[in-house]
Amino acid sequence: MKRLICILLLLETFVFAVQQQVDGGRSENEISPQLSSEDRRQNPTQTDTVRAETLNDSQQNCHLYFPDIHAALRELTATVTEQKANIRALETRLRDAEQAAEQQTLLLEELNKKNDEISNLTQSQVEELRKENRDRQIAFSAALMQSTSGNVGPFTTDITLTYRNVFTNIGNAYNPITGIFTAPLKGAYMFRISVHGTAIQTYPSTVSIIKNGEHVVTAHAHQAVNVVNSSNGVVLLLEVGDVIFVRLLANRRISDSQNNYNTFSGFLLFPLK
Ligand SMILES: *[C@@H]1O[C@H](CO)[C@@H](O)[C@H](O)[C@H]1NC(C)=O
Ligand SMILES: *[C@@H]1O[C@H](CO)[C@@H](O)[C@H](O)[C@H]1NC(C)=O
Ligand SMILES: *[C@@H]1O[C@H](CO)[C@@H](O)[C@H](O)[C@H]1NC(C)=O
């Protein structure tokens, strides 16, 4: 504040000095026609004296702060330069901060996107597992006759048995019309058959599990009197599309009733890659 006053006073001095010069250059008659130039030098007007004194005081005062106007200007210039440097530094810092904030925003967006993706992935994985689990649910069990009783056979050739009385058919891999089970996925499967026959006549009771036309295991019983029973089972490694069914061999006979003695069952133990 004091410095500002000094600068103003210095300016005032400068203006006053210029005015003095201008006044001095003018026709003396115009300003004070009653005074000669000598008188004027010896008796400056009252106002001028006061002003000079004031300025003299001010100059003195200001000389305490600035040895001269150049020094003051130099100091001012230095201050301004310093402030400019400070502003530049602040601007740089502000830009850096803005850039950092921008990067943070981008990072946040990226994270949100990743989060969405993971969430979506989790959801799709859960969906896939559910589907896989549904695919793994394969189990069936059926008996030969639905509501009748009687004999099947003998025939001159092997025939495929159709177990019509379906207890379970989860996954619908067993077809009760054709009697054929078709593997929907690769895995280890368990199959089981049971056979029952009346042995009053000479026909044995013999049925076999067939895989893709090839005989695998047989259940067989034969005796002269009474009824006979037998069973068998097997674990098979099946590829997708492999077929399993049961054949009654030629010249054999089986019997059944609502007791469901003759059954064909199968289920997936576990899938394989
Ligand atoms: C200016 O101040 C100095 C020192 O105080 C003094 O000697 C001198 O007479 C003053 N001049 C005027 C014009 O007042
Ligand atoms: C996530 O799933 C939703 C709905 O299916 C979809 O609109 C969005 O684009 C998915 N996001 C990503 C990142 O995949
Ligand atoms: C076969 O099973 C039936 C019904 O369970 C039974 O009555 C019969 O005694 C069994 N036959 C033999 C030879 O075990």
Taking only the tens place, the pLDDT of each residue in 34-53 is: 444 455 555 556 666 666 66
E strands, the chain, are 139-143, 150-152, 159-160, 165-170, 174-175, 180-182, 187-198, 205-211, 214-221, 227-238, 243-248, 254-256, 263-271
* Minimum-distance ligand 1 atom for the alpha carbon of 49: 13
Range with the largest mean pLDDT of 45-54, 194-203, 240-249: 240-249
Residue 146 binned pLDDT confidence (cut-offs 50, 70, 90):
confident
Which residue has the CA at smallest separation from atom 13 of ligand 3?
Answer: 228
Average confidence score pLDDT of the chain = 85
Residue with tokens 């300003």: 31
Q: What's the pLDDT score for residue 72?
A: 86
Asked if residue 273 has pLDDT above 60, the reply is yes
Span 85-104, pLDDT tens digits:
999 999 999 999 999 999 99
At 183, is the secondary structure helix, strand, or coil?
Answer: coil
Residue 207 binned pLDDT confidence (cut-offs 50, 70, 90):
very high
Residue 127 CA to ligand 2 center (angstroms) comes to 15
- Residue 205: strand pairing partners: 221
At 270, is the secondary structure helix, strand, or coil?
Answer: strand
Instruction: For residue 33, say if its preceding peptide bond is cis, omega within 30 degrees of 0.
Output: no
Q: What's the pLDDT score for residue 202?
A: 77
Residue 215 CA to ligand 3 center (angstroms) comes to 26
Across the range 99-123, mean pLDDT stands at 94
Which of 229, 231, 262 to mutate to test ligand 3, by most ligand atoms within 8 A of the CB atom?
229
Q: What's the pLDDT score for residue 162?
A: 97
* Minimum-distance ligand 2 atom for the alpha carbon of 113: 13
Residue 15 binned pLDDT confidence (cut-offs 50, 70, 90):
low
At 178, is the secondary structure helix, strand, or coil?
Answer: coil
Asked if residue 4 has pLDDT above 80, the reply is no
Q: What's the pLDDT score for residue 6?
A: 66
